[in-house]
């Protein structure tokens, strides 16, 4: 699938990311000047009652493979490899980890009902001070494609902070440890296109992914079966088929919370 060779080279630990719910370590990639990655060792994963099988690290890598196979290219290069704390996922860090975050937000809060041009509303809420607000997200085509990718991988935790733009404005999506569950669990802040027809570009990506899953020569299915429980791989096939049949963005389900908390 075209691995990033620098991710397979020597790593130098910089420090732990303290805000992560599971162990996440910032590492320097010694094969490239100024390059960094986030390393998530399997031994640092907290058990999750609703994800009892597989590993979060495996799901991180699977999200990258699916993103590349379909042509979304929204998940940074990610590999499963050994590291200073044992096996885990290593994902290239987008940008400079020590520089301020870009102001080009993908998800934001606005005063209740005041949705600016180029944005779509998700839901209304209140701030801790009781101020009414609306959670909105960008209506750009790349964000719409990310909403489709999240439906494909059954992302149960698409927060606003997991959507980033680099210095060139390119969109990237991170944090995919709770994806690919065999049961429906889509939980996202990107509901602005719910039940709308899928864009032709994303229908093409879905068809490309379906072909990759069915073609032994690509090796995608074999790679995913190493990274994920077998039932999760089967469910991935089913979700792609359903999206190709419906040709529409999914709608929020009343059977489970449709928005992660906190949303940003």
Domain boundaries, the chain: 5-100+140-246
Average pLDDT over every residue of 138-154? 98
Q: Which two tokens stand for residue 85?
A: 């704390």
pLDDT, tens digit, for every residue of 82-141? 999 999 999 999 988 888 776 778 999 999 989 999 999 998 888 788 889 999 999 999
pTM, entire model: 0.94
Portion of the chain with pLDDT greater than 90, in percent: 75
Average pLDDT over every residue of 185-212? 97
pLDDT band at 2 (very low <50, low <70, confident <90, very high): low
Average pLDDT over every residue of 179-192? 96
Question: Ranked by mean pLDDT, which of 5-19, 97-111, 236-250 comes out on top?
Answer: 236-250
Give the per-residue pLDDT at 216: 72
Q: How far is CA 46 from the centre of its chain?
A: 19
**CB-based contacts of 158: which residues, under 8 Å, 6+ apart?**
150, 173, 187, 188, 189, 190, 260
User: 217-225, long-range: CB within 8 Å, 24+ apart, which pairs?
Assistant: 218/69, 219/1, 220/1, 220/65, 220/66, 220/69, 223/1, 223/62, 223/65, 224/62, 224/65, 224/66
Give the per-residue pLDDT at 217: 66
User: 93-101, long-range: CB within 8 Å, 24+ apart, which pairs?
Assistant: 93/26, 93/35, 93/36, 93/37, 93/38, 94/164, 94/166, 94/172, 94/174, 95/164, 95/166, 95/167, 96/34, 96/36, 97/14, 97/26, 97/36, 101/164
């Amino acid at each position: 699938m075209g691995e990033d060779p620098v991710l397979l080279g020597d790593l130098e630990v910089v420090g732990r990311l303290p805000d992560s719910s599971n162990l996440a370590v910032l590492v320097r990639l010694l094969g490239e000047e100024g390059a960094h990655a986030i390393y998530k060792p399997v031994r640092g994963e907290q058990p999750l009652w609703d994800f009892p099988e597989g590993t979060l690290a495996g799901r991180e890598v699977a999200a990258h493979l699916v993103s590349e196979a379909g042509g979304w290219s929204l998940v940074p290069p990610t590999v499963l490899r050994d590291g200073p704390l044992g096996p885990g996922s290593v994902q290239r860090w987008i940008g400079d980890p020590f520089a301020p975050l870009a102001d080009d937000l993908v998800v934001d809060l606005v005063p209740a009902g005041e949705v600016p041009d180029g944005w779509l509303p998700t839901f209304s809420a209140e701030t801790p001070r009781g101020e009414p607000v609306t959670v909105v997200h960008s209506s750009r085509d790349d964000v719409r494609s990310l909403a489709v990718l999240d439906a494909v991988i059954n992302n149960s935790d698409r927060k606003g902070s997991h959507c980033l733009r680099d210095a060139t404005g390119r969109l990237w999506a991170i944090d995919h440890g709770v994806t690919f569950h065999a049961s429906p669990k889509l939980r996202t802040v990107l509901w602005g296109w719910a039940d709308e027809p899928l864009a032709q570009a994303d229908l093409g990506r879905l068809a490309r992914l379906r072909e990759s899953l069915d073609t032994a020569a690509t090796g995608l299915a074999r790679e995913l079966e190493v990274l994920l429980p077998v039932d999760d791989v089967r469910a991935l096939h089913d979700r792609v088929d359903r999206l190709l049949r419906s040709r529409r963005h999914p709608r929020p389900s009343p059977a489970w919370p449709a928005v992660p908390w906190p949303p940003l």
